[in-house]
Each structure stands twice: as C-alpha cells, then as structure tokens.
Structure 1
C-alpha cells in the first residue's frame, strides 16, 4: 500500500509521538510504502529543523535519513491540481496521484476537506490506523 504523509503528521510523530508517532512506526515496520518528492522531503527537513531549534533534545536526523534512504521518490505530474484550496497542499496531492497512493495522511483541515482524489483518499492519522489495523 502506498501512502503520502503530510508534514504536520511527520513532525508531530517525530516530536510528540501519539497517533502520528504510530503512523511512523507502521512505516518503519514496512506496513506501507511512503511516497515523497524532493519538494516534500525539503519541507520535512525545513519544518523539522525549525522545531528542533526549540526542542534540541529530539533527534531528527535518524528519521530524516531513514526517509531519504527508504521512501519512494515520485516525480509529481505537471498538471494543475484543482482539488485543494491551499496551494501548499498541491504537492501532496500531485505526488499521491502520480504515485498512485491509496492514502494521504494529514491533520490539515483544508486538505482533509478534499476527502478523495483519483485513486485514493485523504484521511486523518486516527482514521488511517483504524482502517489498517
């Protein structure tokens, strides 16, 4: 199963665990394939590094290295994505569509309003866990 994880879920899982942390653990246990693009990876790194300045005890490099080595890089399509209100969310939809991801996992209300895209659905971390466990 292919999945795209929004930055808010990744960072929440890295810094605060909880349900987003469970998502990262499921990926680490190879329960799904993580799809990213260079742009998504750059956003993961940028946001994690910003938070790491506030919470220096959290070790971010091991997870970011795992993602770089083990996630599947997808070249997003060049077509416009008319599904979302927020242009910052377009990359997640473009990668999900191009990579044929079954899910986008997010906590972003604007992205959650999309609900479905060609070939998959946008879901919360809690809903994703309830569907796959």
Structure 2
C-alpha cells in the first residue's frame, strides 16, 4: 500500500515513541511511504521551531524518514486549496500514486479524495490498516 503522511502527521510520529514503532511496522509489512524533499524540509523546520530540537537532530530525523520513503518531485501543481503548500501535498500524493494521504489538516480532509488518493485522518488510517 502506498501512502503519503502530511507534515503534521510525520512530526507527530517523530514526537512519540509508540508512533515510530508503528511506522516501522508498517514499513516491514510492505507499506510504501511517499514523501518529497519539500515535505522533509518542512518536517525539519517544524521539529526545530515547534519542538525545540537542534538543527542537527532535526536533520537526522528528516534523513531517517527520507530513507524509509520513496521520494517524489511533483512537476505540475494544481491550485486546489487555500494554502499553496496543501496543493503541493496533494500533488506529491498524486505523483507518488499514493492510495492514502494521511493528514490532520482540515483543508485537506474536506476534499475526501484527490485524483484517486483517499484523504483520511490518522485514526481512520489506523482502522484501515488493522483490517
């Protein structure tokens, strides 16, 4: 299964040990995580600015995520959302042929689906992967 975690979800995963373990288990089960340099850079920034990590630790965390992901670089970004970064997230999910975009962003969740990518909350995604 191909999935793209939004920045807000990736930061939450990195801030909780049990979430990191679940993420690793998903990878072992064959889940393919889709990401991009842009998303990983934003994760790095948020880890420093909001969680107080040093730049070095944030860079290491972003690199580790990158190693567990298939990196895409969307070439065409449609204007769909209020926030241009949300448009980038949608384009990355579509470019990477993700089945799910996992996010807590209300502006993305309201769309429900974009170009065949189902947009779900983390709790919904956990239910999907349990079944």
Q: What is the TM-score when the length of structure 2 is the normalising length?
A: 0.82
Q: How many residues align?
A: 128
Note closer, same or farther for the CA distance 1:67–1:88 as it changes in structure 2 (3 Å cut).
same
Map 1:1-133 onto structure 2 (within 5 A): 1-16=1-16, 21=20, 24-53=23-52, 60=58, 63-82=61-80, 84-133=81-130
Give CA deviations for 1:61-93 in whole Å, capped at 9, x if unaligned.
6542321223111121324242x2322211110
Give CA deviations for 1:17-69 in whole Å, capped at 9, x if unaligned.
56x5565244443441111111111111111122342x67xx65654232122
Q: Distance in 1 between matches of 2:113 and 2:22?
A: 20
- Structure 1: stretches of 5+ with no match in the other structure: none
TM-fit CA distance, 1:110: 1.0
TM-fit CA distance, 1:95: 0.6
When the two chains are superposed, the root-mean-square deviation of aligned CA atoms in Å is 2.3
Q: Would the aligned equivalents of 2:35 and 2:66 in 1 still touch at CA under 8 Å? A: no
